[in-house]
Amino acid sequence: MELSHNESSTLSRIGDRSSSDVVVRIRTQEGRDDWIYCHSDILVKKSKYFADRLSDNWPTCQILDSRNCVEVYCEECDFDHHITVLRLLYATSDVTVTELSSVKNALGTLRVAVELGCPQIVSTCVGYLEAVPWEESEEEEILKTIPGMGSQAEPILARLQPVNALAVVRIFLAAIRFATSSPPSSMNDLKTSAQEQLEYMLTEDDDAPLLTADDEIKLEARQCVNRLLARFVNLVDSLLGDLHDSVAEAENVELLQSHLTDLSWASQIVTKLEISNDFVYTWVETSVNIVKVAERVSPESSLTGTKLKVLEVTAKVLEAIGYGTVILPTTRRLHMVKVWLPFVRIVKSAVDSVGSDEENDLMLKSDGELWQTLESAFVSIILTLPSSDQAEILTEWLENKHIRYPDLTEAFEVWCYRSKVAKRRLALLDGNNPTTNGV
């Protein structure tokens, strides 16, 4: 078989039948069978496998076409890579990127070079694979292949090795400072990417979180989020005075939505880091002004923008209060129900009335998770209030035209049961109290 060879060569050329003294026969189970006319001095010098096969210590040596023959059986997928390795054994200069051509070819060539004991080709393939970018599928193939090749191939995996904890902390802190810095809108894509990666670092999925936050990390994260909250509160305060000015409104509503998007993300981060208190306290104290601003924004942006962004953050805050993640006194819990329950009703009713031709709003309309979260949080908070406050809220709900949402049926049922058995329950408690029995 005559193979082309465009590198500079020694006096011997692969495939030169007239000067060859050995035939390498590459065979597969599928029936492929190629004879490559080679030269034993080159094979022995550059391949431990061929050196062993052509040595006097090898028990038998086949003869083919009046030459020593070395049969090499391989998988079909590695057939071409064996040809490549044989060709590269004849190269008199360093193998170039063009010859390896791709990660797939380099990986296959490396695999065969390791099997045939060709250290120079192994070194070249390792250098290539260590330096070039990989596609995701190529990375998975590398992870399957390289670990079994020993220390000679370890440099390829350098980019996949875990980094030390200090490096993780440094990049986390740098990222959260940037992600909460409210950069110009031209940098929104960069900011969003940083936010996504920060959340990913803290998420437990098939793998443990990349970062375990200590007190120092939590303090820095809390300060970053608090600065973001402060900018948001200042903007809300300024909008209360500027909304009569259409120019100021147009300039600031977009900024408001950007802050709300950041705060929706930040609410996830503070929950994961268990530092929700400041976030919740600030939102509670600013709730009245937030509702005023959200109710007065221009109609064209109210549904697809500001109001729903506001509710995304509010849902997280109400969840934290309703499930006891953040402890608030009765007056503040009651305050949150009275401020947000009417607003949520109005927005939900408006979303439900959106026409079927409005595609963007339809996507929001179909997002039931937000509404379910808000409803469950309201029920949980209401059931923590004194009975008289519950009665007032439930009466208003039963008389309201928006009775369908939020559905407070569960709270109503629990209130009815508690109220009906209250005297009996408390009487039993009094009867079991030693003080009331004169003891």
Burial class (CB in 10 A: 0-12, 13-18, 19+), 299: exposed
Give per-residue pLDDT as tens, 254-266. 899 999 999 999 9
- Average pLDDT along the chain: 87
Is the predicted pLDDT of residue 295 greater than 90, yes or no?
no
pLDDT at 38: 94
Would you say 407 and 394 are in contact if contact means Cβ atoms under 8 Å apart? no
pLDDT at 245: 57
pLDDT at 104: 93
pLDDT at 186: 93
- List the one residue out of 327, 329, 296 whose CA is nearest residue 310: 296
- Average pLDDT over every residue of 84-107: 82
Burial class (CB in 10 A: 0-12, 13-18, 19+), 104: middle
User: For residues 360 and 184, which has the higher predicted lDDT (pLDDT)?
Assistant: 184
- pLDDT interval class at 381 (50, 70, 90): very high
Give per-residue pLDDT as tens, 120-135. 999 999 999 999 999 9
Alpha-carbon distance 291 to 374, whole Å?
16
- List the one residue out of 204, 181, 208, 213 whose CA is nearest residue 194: 181
pLDDT at 439: 36
Q: 3-state class of 356 per DSSP?
A: coil
Measured CA distances, 381 to 156, 236, 313, 337 (Å) = 55, 26, 17, 8
What is the CB-side half-sphere exposure of residue 205 using CA atoms within 13 A? Answer: 6
In order of start, what are the domains of the chain with their CATH numbers?
Answer: 22-158 (3.30.710.10), 213-354+363-429 (no CATH)
Residue 292, Cβ neighbours under 10 Å: how many? 14
Instruction: Name which of 177-191, 285-299, 385-399 the model is least confident about.
Output: 285-299
- pLDDT interval class at 358 (50, 70, 90): low
